[in-house]
Amino acid sequence: MQKERGNGISYICIYNTNTNVMANKAKLRLTSVKLVDHLFEDFKISSIRHKFNLQKLVNRTIHLYLEDEEFRKQIHNHTDLAVSGSL
Q: What is the pLDDT of residues 55-71, one digit of tens each?
A: 999 999 999 999 999 99
Residue 86, domain member (yes or no): no
Q: What is the largest CA-CA distance in the chain?
A: 43
Q: How many domains does the chain have?
A: 1
Q: Would you say residue 12 lies in a domain? A: yes
- Strand runs labelled E in the chain: 2-4, 9-14, 18-21, 24-27, 31-36
State the residue range of the domain holding 58.
2-77
24 CB neighbour count, 10 Å cutoff:
7
Q: Is residue 36 part of a domain?
A: yes
Give CA angle at 71 (53, 27), nearest 5°: 45
Instruction: Please say if the pLDDT value at position 22 is more than 60.
Output: no
Does residue 85 form part of some domain?
A: no
Residue 83 included in any domain = no
Q: Is residue 16 part of a domain?
A: yes
Q: Which of 21-25, 33-37, 80-84 has the lowest mean pLDDT?
A: 21-25
| Nearest by Cα to 5 from 84, 81, 82 | 84
